[in-house]
Amino acid sequence: MTRYIIRRLIHSIFIIWGVATLVFFGLRAIPGDPVVQFLGAEYSPEAAEALNKKLGLDEPVYVQYFKWLSNTIQGDLGDSIATGETVDEAIRTGFPKTISIAFVAFVLALVIAIPTGVIAALKRNSWIDYVVSVIAFIGVSMPSFWFGIILIILFAVRLNWLPAVGYSSIEDDGLWEWFKHLVLPALAVGAGFSAILMRFVRAGLLEVLGSDFIRTARAKGLSERSVIIRHALRNALIPVVTIAGIQLALLLSGTVIIEIVFSIRGLGRILVGAILDKDYPIVQGVILLVSVIFVLANLVVDIIYTFLDPRIRYE
């Protein structure tokens, strides 16, 4: 296992480097000059030349690339062209908000999807199964931004139970205020994920329940609770873990629209603004971070496999 993890980490370094390289050259292939866009009405050839020189954009692209790569390896992601703040500062500002939304959405999705998926599988072809399937279909179909607006109208405007917009940090306002501000955006972004996960739980459990080892466990006199939880559900969770690991990483990118709807300045809004401003350093830094999260999520999924199914061994 240790050798496998080391090999995967080495492979991950090359994957992250490849993504970062594609982003670096891809941004510079887009027409338009970020300096001209940044200067706006104050543009002049002399001001543009001075700013290009200050930012190093007057050098050949390959020189810019190797400088950026060298600085990145040393932990320096550069400075924003638009605001002048460091990329590290921008990420530290937005990342806690985005990861909070994704984390709460992920937990809520698991809490909703696993029990409902199990119940739907155990009550196959009953009215409960049909109701759960219809709800799951609706959850997959509805846009997250539309659902977010409905949640705001219902729980913030009509009932006045939860705040409609904004973000509260745990350090400043405490755990309860932090959670209250995250419930609605997390539900909006996690509803579709919960529906997908529920369908995987149901399908996986139905397949396992028809296996020979489940019939053997029942023949030995094990309680139905033990058969379902210790034997059936554990084996059914392998495909669920796969989709959950991928979706957890995708939730980070899926928060972009939700951050706009709920007026939260997370990584998604920062990235969109940086793309519109052609703010190379910010875009490169954020995408580099997201690629690292994707790679690590897949590695964690592979490791969890061995705990769910002892027969799986990585050599």
- Rounded mean pLDDT for each run of 10 residues along the chain, 315 residues in total: 74 83 78 66 69 72 83 80 80 86 86 86 83 83 84 87 82 82 87 84 79 73 72 72 72 76 84 80 84 79 67 56
Other Cβ atoms less than 10 A from the Cβ of 183: the count is: 17
Rounded CA-CA distance 280/90 in Å is 13
- Tell me what pLDDT residue 262 has: 86
Rounded CA-CA distance 224/200 in Å is 21
CATH of domain 87-207+241-307: 1.10.3720.10
CA torsion angle for 101, 250, 292, 9 (degrees, to 10)?
120
3-state secondary structure of 161: coil
Where are the domains positioned within the chain? 87-207+241-307
- Tell me what pLDDT residue 173 has: 76
- Tell me what pLDDT residue 94 has: 85
Cβ neighbourhood burial of 273 (10 Å; 0-12, 13-18, 19+): middle
- Tell me what pLDDT residue 83 has: 75
CB 79 within 8 A of CB 281: yes
- Tell me what pLDDT residue 38 has: 65
CA torsion angle for 48, 53, 56, 58 (degrees, to 10)?
70
Rounded CA-CA distance 45/35 in Å is 10
List CB contacts of 278: < 8 A, sequence separation 6 or more: 27, 30, 32, 33, 34, 37, 81
Rounded CA-CA distance 248/293 in Å is 9
